[in-house]
Each structure stands twice: as structure tokens, then as C-alpha cells.
């Protein structure tokens, strides 16, 4: 290796046995403090808040240094997901009986479908996603996305599923609100 890098053997061994520089020793101490702050914050603090806490403790260092040390430690802030209520249980609409009764093993396609709505936070606001899944194949057969939560969202997903599968009489569509739809209703 010494020949390849054009370094003398004595120079290599001198480097190998040399003490850490003052900067590296200081980095080690700051890393310990960073980890302490990071875990005390339940892993929610990023470099700006860690830097502020270090300064409050009288430790002088810059933003770039904290970022570099956090990267060396392979840590970053963990953000909690935003939560939004999408189910309205306080409505006057009729709710169907649960005729599916948690029987999720289905012996043929287009016998039982399940539907649900989820939401995704984006920089432009909430995005709502409605899906319909066939319990037999476990495939999503209908879906729709909107920037607001309304019944059209669910109807678009259901229309897509019906268009894809053209189910026969007797289909059960189950959702968390217990709504069931049979072919003759649709």
C-alpha cells in the first residue's frame, strides 16, 4: 500500500499511532451530546433544534458541523404522521347490517368486495384515496383520488370497479360504515 500511495513506511506507522487531533476529540464529545439530546427528544429533534440545545448548554459549534456529525452518527429526526379523522359516525344515514361477518376467505371472484378511504398529506394539502378490493384476488379493482372527502370519491372508485369486473347479482360491498350494495341497486 505504501508503494501504491507513494508514502514511506515510517510515515504510515507514524500516522497509524498518532493521537486524534483536537478537532476529532471535540467532535467525539459533541457527538455524545448530540446523541443525548436526540434520544431525550424521543428522536424528534433535527439539526436546528439540536444546535439550539447545544448552544443552550454552552457548546459552541455551527449548523454544518452538527449536520455532518448527525450524518456520521446516521441519525435524523423522525416526524410524527399527521392524523385526520375521516369517519363520521354521527350521521343520520341508514347503516346496513354487517352481512360479511369477517368472512374474508372467498371462494370465487366478484362475490365480496371491501372498500375504504385513506388520506395522504402532501405539500399541497390532504389527498383522499378511495379503493375497492376484491376479497378473492386481493387486488384493487377500483380507486379514485380527490382533494376533498365526499361521496363522489367513493362512487368514482365503485364505478371503476364495476366497469372493470361487471359483477353478477349477489355481490356484497363492505365498508367500515357497513354499507352494502347489490348489483340491482347499482
CA 147 to chain centre: 19
Residues 6+ apart with CB under 8 A from 21: none
Domains of the chain: 2-73 (no CATH), 81-186 (3.30.420.10)
- pLDDT for residue 75: 93
pLDDT band (50, 70, 90) for residue 66: very high
Q: Which backbone phi and psi does 11 adopt, to 5 degrees?
A: -65, -40
pLDDT band (50, 70, 90) for residue 185: very low
Q: How many CA atoms lie within 13 A of 29 on its CB side?
A: 12
* C-alpha to C-alpha distance for 22 and 116, rounded to whole angstroms: 59
pLDDT band (50, 70, 90) for residue 79: confident
Whole-number percent of the chain with pLDDT over 90: 39
* C-alpha to C-alpha distance for 69 and 47, rounded to whole angstroms: 10
pLDDT top residue among 13 and 89: 13
Residues 6+ apart with CB under 8 A from 174: 98, 99, 100, 112, 113, 114, 115, 180
Q: Where are the beta strands (DSSP E) in 5-77?
A: none
Amino acid at each position: 500500500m505504501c508503494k501504491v500511495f507513494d508514502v514511506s513506511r515510517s510515515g504510515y506507522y507514524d500516522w497509524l499511532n498518532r493521537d486524534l487531533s483536537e478537532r476529532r476529540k471535540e467532535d467525539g464529545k459533541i457527538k455524545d451530546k448530540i446523541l443525548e439530546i436526540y434520544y431525550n427528544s424521543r428522536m424528534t429533534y433535527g439539526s436546528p433544534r439540536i444546535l439550539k440545545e447545544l448552544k443552550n448548554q454552552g457548546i459552541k459549534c455551527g449548523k454544518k458541523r452538527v449536520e455532518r456529525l448527525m450524518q456520521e452518527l446516521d441519525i435524523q429526526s423522525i416526524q410524527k404522521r399527521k392524523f385526520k379523522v375521516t369517519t363520521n359516525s354521527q350521521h343520520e344515514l341508514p347503516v346496513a347490517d354487517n352481512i360479511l361477518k369477517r368472512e374474508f376467505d372467498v371462494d370465487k371472484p366478484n362475490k365480496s368486495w371491501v372498500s375504504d378511504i385513506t388520506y395522504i398529506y402532501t405539500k399541497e394539502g390532504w389527498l383522499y384515496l378511495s379503493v375497492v378490493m376484491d376479497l378473492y384476488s386481493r387486488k384493487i379493482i377500483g380507486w379514485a383520488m380527490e382533494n376533498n372527502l365526499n361521496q363522489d370519491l367513493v362512487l368514482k372508485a365503485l364505478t371503476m370497479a364495476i366497469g372493470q369486473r361487471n359483477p353478477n347479482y349477489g355481490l356484497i360491498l363492505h365498508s367500515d360504515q357497513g354499507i352494502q350494495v347489490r348489483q340491482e341497486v347499482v
